[in-house]
Chains A and B, each alone.
Chain A
């Protein structure tokens, strides 16, 4: 069974990934909704920004977060002065770094779900007198619901494994920011830590596969619902 140390690492990983999903879900949903529309001014810019974390090195993302949200960064200083919130080297910081990294993945899954909905349903709703907010809330969101859920689960599973951005921005603090991949890295750095690393790797592998399988199940259920 798992040791106390492993349980702490697991809890940290789950906590970080969950916070990351909660943080990015509303923003990703709105971005995906906007990107699923045919055209609007600034669409290509939004598209590029949403996909940036996919092509930038994770360490660079971590560095950018540090510069902006670190204690001396403009937003970081403001957050600490106004709300007393410190992001760098905390679990919240690890969650922010994870959220940014999994953002493109989430936007992509949710956008596909929005695009799978027959756009004429929105015309039909508009001609019954429903404004944009009603159409989004009563049609787009429930119809894309399974896709949104699948996107969230995928992002959660991916978030469990985020390394570069987290270690750069939030560092490697056991019980606070030391997630599974960071713990594996630490174990490999210490002499005789191969066994620990192997156990952690197997945990990480199991979690990722379970997350992926769950997301796939949700997608399948969503497709069946769309076809019906």
Chain B
């Protein structure tokens, strides 16, 4: 059996804040999701070795890199753990090429070979034109690409990313997301991605780790963990929804490479009869599993359908007009452009 990419069981204190986290990340992409101040960045720093643990252990691919009880502490530079910070942190006195070479040299010195060669990285992240430039001559999106390429070229065994999308606008966000998914799918590089954006979490996560006030409140396969009540209660009410695989959708959405699309409950329309003559492309037959009255008066309807469970939000009037009750057949309708 292959060891998990990452096994964490740590305690650590910073000021009045206490982080206590235990989870295993077998392979693929794990997303650490939580509101700001929940300890996500601190967790990454601890795994990378930038902060000393108060207690517990961290193992990367089965190798303990820190174990307080056993007195083991591998310095950050020898853990084989890469970290892409929120800010790109490119070395200002080196060109883009110099930054990339620096990383490749460290990998070579450690005797590790990177997921991508220098040429492959330059091609994949479209860096050829940027190579001679100084970091200060790059746009925000370009800096992020260089930072990601640099992290990959250092040949990490595990890559940590702290809010990698924070500084990116819509289109660049999509492109960056695709890069991460490719790295994970084609090269099997295990990753741990911190985000507080539900769409990004759904798009990337094989495993979801939900963090609140320094504790893991939900952890497991992404779709189940995201459907759990404790996870949904962490979300802004307008973000409540469900993770649906792209293949469930009609048209171009089905072609998307994301693991799942986050379908907000507000965007789902319910019909008590098979709808006809509608422009909407996504119509799924299912039945009502549960009704929940929300604090704002709206009714949250859990529908079980062949594509999996999904959530729809309706007004109390609509719920009574449609005579919604557990077991009642319903059709869930979503416009393609709302996905």
Answer whether A and B are interacting partners.
yes
Q: Which residues of B contact A125 (CB under 8 A)?
A: 91, 102
B110-137 interface bits toward A, Cβ cutoff 8 Å, 1 = contact, 0 = none: 1000000000000000000000001010
Q: How far is the CA of A127 from the CA of B103 in the complex (A)?
A: 9
Q: Which of A126, A128, A228 contacts B102 (CB 8 A)?
A: A128
**Which of A126, A132, A134, A225 gathers the greatest number of chain B CB atoms within 10 Å?**
A126
Measured in the bound complex, the distance between the Cα atoms of B83 and A123 in whole Å is 9
- Asked if A129 meets B110 with Cβ closer than 8 Å, knowing A123-B76, A228-B136, the reply is yes
- A101-109, A136-144, A175-183, A203-211: which lies at the interface: A136-144
Q: Does A121 contact B (CB under 8 A)?
A: yes
The reply to whether A121 and B78 contact each other, CB–CB distance below 8 Å, is no
Q: Specify which chain B residues have a CB less than 8 angstroms from the CB of A134 in the assembled complex.
A: 106
CB proximity of B39 to chain A, nearest CB, Å: 18
Q: Does A73 contact B (CB under 8 A)?
A: no
B64 to chain A, nearest CB (A): 18
| Complex Cα–Cα for A131 and B105 (A) | 12
B154 close to A (CB within 8 Å): yes
- A128 and B103 contact, Cβ closer than 8 Å, known pairs A120-B89, A228-B92: yes
Q: Which residue of A lies closest to B147 (CB)?
A: A124
Q: Known contacts being A130-B77, A138-B102, is A124 close to B109, with CB within 8 Å? A: no
Q: Report yes or no: A128 in contact with B93, Cβ–Cβ below 8 A.
A: no
Are A131's CB and B91's CB within 8 A?
Answer: no
Contact A129 B109 (CB under 8 A): yes
Q: Identify which of A126, A128, A139 contacts B151 (C-beta below 8 A).
A: A128
Most buried by A among B85, B89, B134: B89
Cα distance, A225 to B150, chains bound together (Å): 23
The chain A residue sitting closest to B110, CB to CB, is: A129
Closest to B109 in A: A129
| Residues 23 to 49 of chain B near chain A (Cβ within 8 Å) | 48
B residues near A130, Cβ cutoff 8 Å? 77, 102, 106
Q: Which residues of A contact B91 (CB under 8 A)?
A: 121, 124-125, 139
Are A128 and B154 in touch, CB under 8 angstroms? yes
For A118, the chain B residues whose CB sits under 8 A away are 89
Q: Given A123-B50, A138-B102 in contact, is the A129-B107 Cβ separation under 8 Å?
A: yes
Partner of B75, one of A126, A142, A226, A228: A126
A127 near B93 (CB under 8 angstroms)? no
**Pair A129/B154 contact, Cβ less than 8 Å:** yes
A226–B91 alpha-carbon span in the complex (Å): 11
Q: Which of A130, A139, A225: most chain B Cβ within 10 A?
A: A130
What is the bound-complex CA distance between A143 and B301, given in angstroms? Answer: 59
A142, B92: Cα distance in complex, Å: 10
A121→B89 contact, CB < 8 A: yes
**Chain B nearest CB: distance from A226 CB in Å?**
8
Q: Is B82 an interface residue (CB 8 A)?
A: yes
Q: With a CB–CB cut-off of 8 A, which chain B residues contact A143?
A: 92-93
A228-B118 Cα distance, complex, nearest whole Å: 27
Given A138-B102, A143-B93, A228-B92, A127–B81 Cβ distance below 8 Å? Answer: yes
Return chain B residues, CB-CB under 8 Å to A138.
Answer: 102
Known: A121-B91, A134-B106, A139-B91. A128 touches B85 (CB 8 A): no
Cβ distance B145 to chain A, nearest Cβ, rounded Å: 15
Contacts of A121 in B (CB 8 A): 89, 91-92
Rank and list the top 3 A-B pairs by shortest CB-CB distance, nearest first: A129-B106, A128-B154, A124-B89
21 interchain pairs, CB-CB under 8 A = A121-B89, A123-B83, A124-B85, A124-B89, A126-B75, A126-B76, A127-B48, A127-B76, A127-B82, A128-B106, A128-B150, A128-B154, A129-B106, A129-B110, A129-B154, A130-B106, A131-B75, A132-B77, A225-B92, A228-B92, A228-B136
Interface residues of A (CB under 8 A from B): 118, 120-121, 123-132, 134, 138-139, 142-143, 225-226, 228
